[in-house]
Structure 1
Amino acid sequence: MRTLDRYIIKKFLVTFVFTLGLFALISVFIDISEKIDDFLKRKPSIYVIIFEYYIYFIPYILGMFSPIFVFLSAMFFNSKLAQNSEIIAILNTGISYPRFLRPYFIATTILAGSFLYLNTIVIPICDKKRYLFEEEWIRERKTTQSNNISYVIEPGTMLHMESFNYLDSTGFNASIERFENNKITQRIFANRLVWNKDKQNWTMEFYQRRFFTNGKEIVEKGKALDTTLNIKPDEFVIKSQFVSSMTNPELNEYIRREKEKGSPNINKYYVELYKRIANPISFFVLTLTAIGISSRKSRGGTGLALGIGIFLTFAFLMAIQVFNTLGMNNVLPPAIAVWIPNSIFIIIAI
C-alpha cells in the first residue's frame, strides 16, 4: 500500500468518525433537553441514564445517519484535495483515476463491513434496550394491553380479539374463524382466551362454537375449551418498533413464521430486513457520487460542493422514505423498493 493510499484512507476515516461523532454528541444533548423533565420527574440515576440509555441511544443514531456522513465526509475531504489542486497533481504523476479511487473504496469497505455487522446484530439489541428504558422511565403509560387485534394464525384461520393483556396473557372477547374455499366453516367465540404456560396451549372460557356444514348451523356451548393455536403470547407484543429490535436471525425466523401463517403484513418485515443490508452497500454508491461531484476545482470553493452534497443528502433521505413506504404498502416488491434509491444515485454518480 502506497503512502498516498494510507493518507487518503486515514483522512477519510478520521473525517467520518469526527463528523459522525460530533453529530452523535449533538443528538445526545438535544435528546437530553427533550427528556430533562421526565428525568427530573422520575429521577433515574446518572448511571442508569448513561449506561442503560445513552450507551444504546448512540449506536441507534450512528446507524440511522451513517450513510449521510459517509457521503459528506467523502465530499468534504475530496473537495479539499480538489481546491488545493492535489487531485491534479496526483493524476499528473501517472496514477489513473480508478487507481486514485482505490483508497476511498478500501476505507468504504471498512465502514460498510462494520456497519453491516452493527445493523444486523448490535443496533437491534441496543434498540431493544433503548425502548425498554423509555417504557420504564419516559412514557406516562406503559404498554400492557393491545386493542382490536386481528391475526392470521395459519392459512384459513383468523383470530380476532377485542383486547389482550400482556401481564396475565389473557385475551377478551376472542373469536376464531376457520375458512375453506373462501367460505366460513367454523366460528368459536369466547369471553376470555387464556394462555396455559405449563401445557403450552390456550383455553377458551365461556365459549360458543358454531359449525357451518351443508347449509346447516350447529351450535355448541361450554365453560372451557382447550385448543392448540400456532401462536404464543409474546407474538402479540411484537409491534413495528420491536421488529426493528430483532437481530437478523430473529427477524428471519419471525418472517418464516409469518409466511407460514399467511400474514398480509409481511412486506414491512422484508423492508426492514433488506434495508439493513442496503444501507451499508449504499456507502459505496454515496462515496462514488460524492467524489464525482467534488473532484473538480470550483470558484465557489468547498462550500459549493458541500451545498450540493447537503441537497443530495436530503434527496437521498426522501427517496429512502418514499420507496420504503411503497414497499411496506405492497405497491412495489420490498427488495426493489429498498434498492431504488441506491440505483438512482449510481446513475447520478456515472
Structure 2
Amino acid sequence: MKIIDKYILKRYLGTFSVMLLMFIPIGIVIDVSEKVNKMIANKVAMSDILVYYVDFTIYFANLLFPIFLFLSVIWFTSKLANNTEVIAILSSGISFNRFLRPFFVGAAIVSLFALMMGFFLVPAASKGFNDFRYKNLKGNNQTRETSDIFRQINTDEYIYVSNYNYMSQTGFNFAFEKFKDNKLVYKINSNRIKYDEKTKKYILYNYVKRTIGTANDIIESLDKTSMTFDFEPDDLTPVVYVAETMSIGELYKFIDKEREKGNANISTYLVVFYKKFSLPISAFILTLIAVAVSSMKRRGGMGVNLAIGIVIAFTFIFFDKVFGTMAEKSALHPFVAVWIPNFVFGILAIYLLRNAKR
C-alpha cells in the first residue's frame, strides 16, 4: 500500500471515528435529559443505567452509522479538495479509479465491522435497550406497542390479547380459537393470562371454554387453571422488537418456524433479516456518492458539499424507512423493498462518479 493510500485510509477511518465520538455523546445527553425524571422516580440503579447506555451506544451507532459515514467522508474529502490535494494527486498521474481504492478499502473495513455488529452485538444491545425501557421507564410510548395483539400460531389456531406486559409476561382479555376444516371447534376466553417460567405453562384466570356442538355448545368455566399452548411469550411481544433481539442464526430459524405457522407478520421479520445484509453494502454506495460530491472544489467551499451531503443522506434514510414500511404493510416483497434504496442510490453513485471523473 502506497503512502497516499495510507494517508487517505487513515483520514477515512479517523474522521468516521471522530464523527461517532462527537455525535454519540450528544445522543446520550439528549436521552438522559428526556428520561432522567422517570429514572429518578422509579429509583433505577446506577449500574443498570450504565449498562443501558452501553447498549444505547451500540444501538444508536448502528442505527445512524450510514449518516455518520457519509458525512465524515464528505468532510475530509472536501478538505482534501479545498487544499487542492485532490488536484495534486490526480495531476501526478493517478487515475480517478485508482484514487478511489483507499476509499473502497475503508468502506470494506467499516462494512465488515457493521456486518459483525448486526449479526452479534446489536441484537444483544437491542434486547438490553428495550428491556430497560419496558422495565424502568413507565408510561413510555413503547408500552402501547403491545396492545391488540392478534397471532396465527399455526394453520388452525389463533390467539388474541388486548394488552400484554412484556416484563411481567402477563396478558389481558386473552382469546384462543381452534379450527378444523375452517370450522370453529372451541374457543377459550380468559380475563388474564400469565406465563409461568418454572412449569412452562400458562395460568388462565376466569377461564371459560366453549366447545361447539352439533345441537348444543358445551361451556366449561374455572376461576383459575393452567394450560400448555403451542406459542411462546415472545409471540406476544412487538414483532420488530422480537426480531431485533436475535442473532442472525436465531432469526433465520425463527423465520422458518413462523413461516410454518403461517404467521401474517412474516414480512416484518424478513425486513429485519435482509437489512442486516443491505446496511453494510450501503457503506460502499454512500462512500462513492460522498467522494463524487466532495472531490470537486466548489465555490462556497465545504459548506456547499455538506449541505448536498445532508440532503442525500436523509433522502436515503427516507427511502429506507418508506420501503421498509411498504414491505410490512403491503404485498411488496421484503427483499425488493430493502434493496431498492441501495439500487437507486447505486445508480446515482455511478452517475455522480462519471461526472466527477470529467
Common fold by TM > 0.5: yes
Match of 2:176 in 1: 175
Letter of the 2:55 counterpart:
Y
Relative to structure 1, the CA distance from residue 317 to residue 149 in structure 2 (aligned partners, 3 Å threshold; closer, same or farther) is closer
Q: Does 1:132 align with 2:131?
A: yes
Instruction: Decide whether the 8 Å contact of 1:160 with 1:175 is kept in 2.
Output: yes
In the TM superposition, 1:37-116 aligns within 5 A as 37-50=37-50, 52-116=51-115
Q: Does 1:336 align with 2:336?
A: yes
Relative to structure 1, the CA distance from residue 118 to residue 198 in structure 2 (aligned partners, 3 Å threshold; closer, same or farther) is closer
Match of 2:120 in 1: 121
Match of 1:210 in 2: 212
Q: SS in structure 2 opposite 1:120?
A: helix
State how far apart, in whole Å, the 2-side matches of 1:72 and 1:144 are: 35
Instruction: Decide whether the 8 Å contact of 1:169 with 1:233 is kept in 2.
Output: no
Q: Residue deviations 1:175-220, cap 9 Å, x none?
A: 313142xx31523334476767677566884422115xxxx45633
Instruction: Decide whether the 8 Å contact of 1:267 with 1:330 is kept in 2.
Output: no
Match of 1:220 among 214, 218, 237: 218
Instruction: Decide whether the 8 Å contact of 1:178 with 1:185 is kept in 2.
Output: yes
Please, what TM-score do these two structures have when normalized by structure 2? Answer: 0.85
Q: SS in structure 1 opposite 2:153?
A: strand
Letter of the 1:14 counterpart:
G
Stretch moving more, 100-109 or 80-89: 80-89
Letter of the 1:109 counterpart:
A
Question: How many angstroms does 1:274 deviate by?
Answer: 1.0
Match of 1:269 in 2: 269
State how far apart, in whole Å, the 2-side matches of 1:24 and 1:273 are: 25
Q: Residue deviations 1:280-327, cap 9 Å, x none?
A: 110000000111111212122111111111111111111111111111
Instruction: Decide whether the 8 Å contact of 2:239 with 2:269 is kept in 1.
Output: no
Q: Does 1:157 align with 2:157?
A: yes
Please, what TM-score do these two structures have when normalized by structure 1? Answer: 0.87
Q: Residue deviations 1:48-67, cap 9 Å, x none?
A: 322x2111111111101110
Letter of the 2:128 counterpart:
K
* Identical pairs, percent: 33
Instruction: Decide whether the 8 Å contact of 2:123 with 2:247 is kept in 1.
Output: yes
Match of 1:249 in 2: 249
Q: Residue deviations 1:55-92, cap 9 Å, x none?
A: 11111111011101111111111122122222222122
Relative to structure 1, the CA distance from residue 81 to residue 156 in structure 2 (aligned partners, 3 Å threshold; closer, same or farther) is same
Relative to structure 1, the CA distance from residue 220 to residue 296 in structure 2 (aligned partners, 3 Å threshold; closer, same or farther) is same
State how far apart, in whole Å, the 2-side matches of 1:250 and 1:302 are: 45
Stretch moving more, 268-277 or 196-205: 196-205
Instruction: Decide whether the 8 Å contact of 1:157 with 1:179 is kept in 2.
Output: no
Aligned-pair Cα RMSD in Å: 2.9
State how far apart, in whole Å, the 2-side matches of 1:235 and 1:290 are: 42
Q: SS in structure 2 opposite 1:154?
A: coil
Q: Residue deviations 1:162-185, cap 9 Å, x none?
A: 5667647676552313142xx315
State how far apart, in whole Å, the 2-side matches of 1:150 and 1:120 are: 29
Q: SS in structure 2 opposite 1:10?
A: helix
Match of 2:356 in 1: none
